[in-house]
Structure 1
Amino acid sequence: MQGELLQSNPSLDFKIKRDFALKSLNSLCYKPHIEETMKAETEKLASFLLSQRNVPHIQAILEPIFLRLIMFVVNGKLYSNDDANFHEIWKTFQINSQLLVSKWEDLKSISLFQSSVSYNFFQIRERSEIQMAYQRDIVNRHKDCFNPNIVSDLVDCSLVMLELNEDSGVLSQEDLDGIFVELCSSGNQPISATLAWLILYVSYFPDVQDKIYQELTSVMGIERSPRMSDQPHLPYTCAVILETQRLATVLPFMYPHMATEDTQFMGYKIPKDTAMLFNVWSLHHDAKHWKHPMKFDPDRFLEDGDLRIPDQYLPFGDGLRSCPGEGISDILLFLFSTNLLYYLRFDLQGKVDLEGEMMGYVLAPKPFSLTVTPRETVVIDIAAELGETLETSVCMIEDDVSFDDVLD
């Protein structure tokens, strides 16, 4: 299921698919309802964490939240936490994530990838077919109430593209369905792992956490929480996010790619169909480019108080194969990082391991326990102020459509 954008050959259809995904996702970044929905989810999460006070494994809490939000950007539907369809979708994506690793036979000799789980092939194929059929049903429901003047999600963007023939007739509906499913399934683990690393680092270095809070309150006061428009005024907080992405490097080898023909690179002969990895970890920890590369130091991204991003910083890759979801990822990381640290203080319980562990292709922190306490910015009951989930103007898939029955 995964790999259409991440691993396909750089053919004409691939370039059209990637351009569509990149252009559409970047345009959706500026939709007010996208930010408002994400912001509401940060406040719900802050309220939940406060109600728990002791949190044993925060990444397990974050993963379904980010999957729900990415699916909202793609399909326009924000699933509830207890939605049966959502849990089936999540299970399918988890299985396919393991398949993505296990199918690259050449990688199995690398110790990082030896933990992949084997699943029954027919089970994987059946669940993938159901997922694609379910996605097609969502697209068809969008078509029934499509209005080119109201573009609220990625499916709407695709319908506009097809109506204007911007793909020159190259893409089929099956191609687009594959893009939608891939984008939903490929982003939640890296984003949740990055935010978990950030919370671990600021808890491990409380002076960094305090400095973020001071910067946040100097800009917002205690009357309102952070928004995307505040980003230019929060250089230190942004530097902490960048340093987390550099030091953690949650996708240390990105996703595998294939050589499309025999070629030579820097004196090496690379046969056609050779699996290749981009070693971002090595680049982000190279002492030639980073002073004390294993040290957590947000100041390396600051110069005279302004944000500075070196050319050697490539958490989303580079060139034709760079991640098209970079814009949405940046928004999610900024809103969740700033809002959580605005409302809450995180303190570690017991010893922690900063080495991390591989989950498929993602380098995640090992589970760690937190104590969560409110900041003085929590002057109201967050949950009481949120009300119901924000609605958008798109048509939603009906609640009586079952993931399990969609092929019937």
Structure 2
Amino acid sequence: MLRFLCESISFQMLLVFLIVFLLVADYMKNRKPKKYPPSPFSLPFVGHIHLMNFRDPQLVMQKLNEKYGDVFSTRVGSTWFVFVNGLQMVKEVLVNQGENFMDRPDIPIDREIFSTMGLISSNGHVWKQQRRFTLTTLRNFGLGKRSLEDRIQEESRYLMDVFGDEQGNPFNPHFKISNAVSNIICSIIFGNRFEYHDEDFQKFLQLLDETVTLHGTIMSQLYSCFPTILKFFPGSHQTIFKNGKLLKSFVEEKINKHKEDWKPSESRDFIDSYLQEIAKDNGSGSFREENLVACTLDLMLAGTETTSTTIRWALLYMALYPEIQARVQAEIDAVIGQTRQPALEDRSKMPYTNAVIHEVQRKSNIIPFNVPRMSVKDTVVGGFCIPKGTTLLTNLTSVMFDKNEWETPDTFNPGHFLKDGQFWKREYFMPFSIGKRACLGEVLARSELFLFFTALLQKFTFQAPPDTTLSLKFKLGITMAPQPYKICAVPR
């Protein structure tokens, strides 16, 4: 019988049968549950990959938002994504039903670096323990206190010195700013800062920057949807894996040095405090050395990349809008003068400067789709059913560029945050996200942005180099950062 079938079925028929079988299997595997958020027509096997704009995904999401409403879905490979848009829906999933969207999804491209431990990618009891411990430890080492403000002011002086060394000539401020910002979190984690000419630390910062940028490449994004196939192919994802090992190695070396002269009764920094928890736990709970490495890397990434990128955008906007820069400097001169450093207590007396910093954060929009969430149970959002285990993305762009809320959403306009000459806090401003998994370093980041920004504009005027036109073009990675640029810091 088998012999007869083999002889009577042609190769073409077999091929047609195989294709039909695969199409039916793909449909059955990826068909949407009842009342699932709407989505465009999808292709077999690859889903909506034909709609993706890997250079500027915000454009595609805006069109889909306009067509399908504030809750819609897309699919790449066999992975479904639900996008939530607009203030009300974003608040619904992050605050009102925050407990139902508390987890992080497993993202293959990040698994090698961040695993499922630490602060960013962990879930459940592990995440709660690590976050609680980290917040307590950060407060113990100065978060929200004068001692940390003093450290930022000290680092501002170092940063002004290296900017001054350029003598008004064109230079790329990228790694000088990264070094300064990173030194604040490093002083808490490692108990010391790193010099701007420290080769090992410069290499670490460059690896971190490259890894962040490579996340935005097509190959890295595709890897997260087709890891089983693409793990055998060369590409940017392989560089991310290699960099991840080097970043971990840097952190592990610092931890090992701490162990050499560690005194259980003394706590000099975050690492010492964590080693104390490991000793209490006897390695049986979530306080283990691999979690310490993950937490440290998370703090280094979050404490460096987002704030330093925002400051780079700020200097770019100041050079592009000299009239706004001049008005900030006039306020600095009137409130602070030139003889003392800016202090956090000055912020309440400087509504325009505060408004400019907020507008930089709004307009630069460095994490446009927030950090992904995952539903922990079947949940109804906006009348649609979101099954347990669904990856959810809250589109912060739809909130911070809402045409019904902002007077000129696509224009850099500090007036968005001013009312009758006073600073105006807006509900639609949420660069740090909202809810229980909002950025735990918000207080630190806001302090750094104000103190670094005002210190730099107190001493320098930022201008485009001669015969150069500065651009607001961005590069998309984990964050949305400005394309590399050179600028002139002219002493005032």
Query: Displacement of 1:146 after TM fit?
Result: 4.6
1:2 aligns with 2:114: yes
Alignment of 1:14-93 (within 5 A): 14-27=127-140, 28-52=142-166, 53-93=168-208
Q: Which 10-residue stretch deviates more, 256-265 or 209-218?
A: 256-265
Q: Which 10-residue stretch deviates more, 231-240 or 33-42?
A: 33-42
8 Å Cα contact 2:309/2:481 also seen in 1: yes
1:266 aligns with 2:266: no
Q: Which 10-residue stretch deviates more, 95-104 or 317-326?
A: 95-104
Query: Displacement of 1:187 after TM fit?
Result: 2.9
TM-score by length of 1: 0.78
| 1:263–1:325 Cα change, 3 Å | same
Aligned residue type for 1:278: T
Which entry has the higher C-alpha Rg, 1 or 2?
2
Match of 1:214 in 2: 330
1:306 aligns with 2:422: yes
CA distance in structure 2 between the partners assigned to 1:232 and 1:160 by the alignment: 39
Query: Displacement of 1:32 after TM fit?
Result: 4.2
Computed over aligned residues only, the root mean square deviation of the Cα atoms, in angstroms, reads 3.1
Q: Which 10-residue stretch deviates more, 362-371 or 254-263?
A: 254-263
CA distance in structure 2 between the partners assigned to 1:99 and 1:208 by the alignment: 33
1:134 aligns with 2:250: no
220, 242, 253: which is aligned to 1:123? 242
Q: For structure 1, list consecutive stretches of 5 or more residues without a partner in the other structure.
A: 109-115, 376-408
274, 281, 295: which is aligned to 2:411? 295
| 1:144–1:43 Cα change, 3 Å | same
Match of 1:363 in 2: 480
| 1:217–1:80 Cα change, 3 Å | same
SS at match of 1:346: strand
Match of 2:126 in 1: 13
What is the CA deviation profile of residues 197-221 of structure 1, one whole-angstrom value per residue up to 9, with x for unaligned ones? 1111122211211111111111122
1:143 aligns with 2:262: yes
TM-score by length of 2: 0.66
SS at match of 1:118: helix
What is the CA deviation profile of residues 289-309 of structure 1, one whole-angstrom value per residue up to 9, with x for unaligned ones? 211111212122122333221
| 1:157–1:311 Cα change, 3 Å | farther
Q: For structure 2, list consecutive stretches of 5 or more residues without a partner in the other structure.
A: 1-112, 227-234
1:230 aligns with 2:230: no
CA distance in structure 2 between the partners assigned to 1:23 and 1:333 by the alignment: 22
CA distance in structure 2 between the partners assigned to 1:87 and 1:251 by the alignment: 24
CA distance in structure 1 between the partners assigned to 2:241 and 2:358 by the alignment: 41
Asked which structure has the greater RCO (Cα within 8 Å, sep 6+), the reply is 1
CA distance in structure 2 between the partners assigned to 1:345 and 1:136 by the alignment: 41
| 1:26–1:286 Cα change, 3 Å | farther
Q: Which 10-residue stretch deviates more, 315-324 or 271-280?
A: 271-280
| 1:290–1:140 Cα change, 3 Å | same
Match of 1:248 in 2: 364
Q: Which 10-residue stretch deviates more, 26-35 or 200-209?
A: 26-35
282, 290, 307: which is aligned to 1:174? 290
Number of paired residues? 362
Match of 1:353 in 2: 471
Q: Percent identity?
A: 27
| 1:318–1:122 Cα change, 3 Å | closer
Query: Displacement of 1:324 after TM fit?
Result: 0.8
Query: Displacement of 1:344 after TM fit?
Result: 0.6
1:322 aligns with 2:435: no
Alignment of 1:151-166 (within 5 A): 153-158=269-274
8 Å Cα contact 1:63/1:192 also seen in 2: yes
